[in-house]
Structure 1
Amino acid sequence: MPIDPTIYYAAIPAVLLVGLTKGGMGEALALMGVPLLAMAVPPVQAAAILLPILVVMDCVSLWIWRQHNDRTLLKMLLPGALIGIAIGWATSAYVPRDALRLIIGLITVLFVARYFYNSWRARYGYIVPARPHRLLPAAFLGTLSGYGSFVAHAGGAPFQVYGLPLKLPPRDYTGAGVRFFAILNAIKLGPYFALGQLDTTNLTISATLVPLAIAATAVGGFLVKRMKPDVFYPFMYAMVLVAGLKLVYDGVLAFL
């Protein structure tokens, strides 16, 4: 099947945004990737084109952040995430994706609002301590992240809702996030093959975009590695807010 060259008008900015995300700039920009590409191709095809590119980006990110990680964060969230992917694969045909986007978006916006409220209180001497790991929230948010990643490309927000309040060193937090989503994306390749979406046409489009994906990921990693904690965390919360508002907007628009 011939490839329409106009696809690249949407694909190039989509890959740039997702690449910056994969470099360590949070998951908010990644939410724009599939909708941008879906302006040129059907949404399922857009997700299929981006998935191999995401895997390549994950490889670059894993190398960039190879010396930074938080194993405890991964151990807490990964079991639930794997369960969430399994549930998503089994039920994706029956659960309204727009409802899931709306729910995750509302939770995320409330979470960020709480952060900025506490930041305002900090001006008057109130300091919020770092939260400890908690099994039940980790299980719930890990499952929601895996499920959202599979059925609605919205796995980043639940991960950040759990991870950001831990107040980890920024590089360790980013390294753990890179590993977390690299594992999820690798696992999602199987279901996409089973759905027949990774065909020759889609893989050809993906392959032509790989050099741009690598460059964008490297730029994202370069920028994040140079952020101080007092810049990194407000920036990350702002990105989470963008993600939450985008999810709420998509969910409400679908219902209307």
Structure 2
Amino acid sequence: MELINWATLMVAIPAVIFAGVSKGGFGSGAAFAAASILALVLEPGQALGIMLPLLMLIDAASLRAYWKKWSWPDAKVLILGMVPGTVLGALFYARADPDSIRLLIGVISLAFVGWQMAQKAGLMRLSERRLGPRAGLLAGVGIGITSFISHAGGPVAAVYLLGQKLPKTTYQATTVLVFWAVNLFKFSFYAVMGILTFDTLGIDLVLAPFAILGTWIGIRIHKIVPEMLFFGLTYVLLSITGVKLIWDAIG
């Protein structure tokens, strides 16, 4: 399938800008929506392969703005847990068919929205105490698995980091550092397993400026745009794409 065409670009450009805004300014928890949206018009493996280099570019662009503002103890424990989690994610991906991946991405999308809504409604509450290293390692494993399969490690990271009661900017900086490490580690797996191809890298060259644009926007609106407004739009997008992906997988 030819990846660089107008139909694909009309979906990919806003999705990539959205990913940049999310990772650059709002903790990256919803950036995986871009891969979910792309999976509506491409094979899941192609969507994942396209998004990884762009997410790495966004990570690099964001890292400077938040340099050394992170919580290193929290970042370290998540990164350590991420290593075995990535290996488990790779093993699952190697045995799954495209519809299984679509189904999983769709379920993760809807689960993220459900978790957020339950929190807003007071049905679920984070612990009042800071979580310990064991919880961080477990969260890191979850990040590795979900990030490999659908670039959706952000929600798992959010559960742990929000429980640490970090200041907004420290929280944002920690997610940037963690996912820079996560994406760098899984790059070699994607290359060896054929998820990254010359076709996906070709469309990445076209989309790269839009990833930088989204990151620039996200960093600048980090302090002025209400998170409720941004995530409200995110929930709508993820609900629609989640339902559609599940329907396509089982239909």
Contact 1:87 / 1:147 at 8 angstroms: preserved in 2?
A: yes
Distance 2:68 2:134 in 1: 29
Is the counterpart of residue 113 in structure 1 residue 118 in structure 2? Answer: yes
Q: What is the CA-CA distance between 1:28 and the residue it aligns to?
A: 4.9
Q: What is the CA-CA distance between 1:215 and the residue it aligns to?
A: 1.3
Q: Aligned residue for 2:25?
A: 24
Distance 1:107 1:208 in 2: 30
TM-score, structure 2 as length reference: 0.81
Name the amino acid aligned to 2:26: M
Q: What is the CA-CA distance between 1:242 and the residue it aligns to?
A: 6.3
Residue in structure 2 matching 1:158, options 149, 156, 174: 156
Distance 1:75 1:4 in 2: 38
- Give the 3-state SS of the residue equivalent to 1:93 in structure 2: helix
Distance 2:67 2:123 in 1: 33
Q: Structure 2: 5+ residue runs without aligned partners?
A: none
Is the counterpart of residue 102 in structure 1 residue 107 in structure 2? Answer: yes
* Deviation digits for residues 196-218 of structure 1 (CA, Å, limit 9, x no counterpart): 33333221210121112111101
Distance 2:165 2:178 in 1: 17
Q: Structure 1: 5+ residue runs without aligned partners?
A: 122-127
Moved more, 25-34 or 47-56: 25-34
Distance 2:242 2:75 in 1: 27
Q: What is the CA-CA distance between 1:146 and the residue it aligns to?
A: 1.0
- Give the 3-state SS of the residue equivalent to 1:60 in structure 2: helix
Q: Which has the larger radius of gyration?
A: 1
Q: Aligned residue for 1:148?
A: 146
Distance 1:2 1:169 in 2: 45
Q: What is the CA-CA distance between 1:31 and the residue it aligns to?
A: 2.8
* Deviation digits for residues 20-79 of structure 1 (CA, Å, limit 9, x no counterpart): 112032345423212332344322112111211111111001012114111121122221
Aligned residues: 245
Q: Aligned residue for 1:131?
A: 129
* Deviation digits for residues 118-150 of structure 1 (CA, Å, limit 9, x no counterpart): 89x9xxxxxx88431323322222211110000
Q: Aligned residue for 2:185?
A: 187
Contact 2:79 / 2:178 at 8 angstroms: preserved in 1?
A: yes
Contact 1:26 / 1:239 at 8 angstroms: preserved in 2?
A: no
Residue in structure 1 matching 2:207, options 206, 209, 226: 209
Q: What is the CA-CA distance between 1:3 and the residue it aligns to?
A: 5.6
Name the amino acid aligned to 1:206: D
Is the counterpart of residue 88 in structure 1 residue 89 in structure 2? Answer: yes
Residue in structure 1 matching 2:198, options 197, 200, 224: 200
Q: Residues 202, 130 of structure 1: CA spacing in aligned structure 2 closer, same or farther, 3 A cutoff?
A: same
Moved more, 197-206 or 13-22: 197-206
Distance 1:22 1:82 in 2: 21
Distance 1:137 1:34 in 2: 27
Q: Percent identity?
A: 27
Q: Residues 20, 69 of structure 1: CA spacing in aligned structure 2 closer, same or farther, 3 A cutoff?
A: same
Residue in structure 2 matching 1:219, options 203, 207, 217: 217
- Give the 3-state SS of the residue equivalent to 2:131 in structure 1: coil
Q: Aligned residue for 2:55?
A: 54
Residue in structure 1 matching 2:165, options 158, 167, 170: 167
Q: Aligned residue for 2:5?
A: 5
RMSD over aligned CA atoms reads 3.3
Distance 1:153 1:171 in 2: 22
Q: Residues 40, 240 of structure 1: CA spacing in aligned structure 2 closer, same or farther, 3 A cutoff?
A: closer
- Give the 3-state SS of the residue equivalent to 2:32 in structure 1: helix
Contact 2:24 / 2:62 at 8 angstroms: preserved in 1?
A: yes
- Give the 3-state SS of the residue equivalent to 2:70 in structure 1: coil
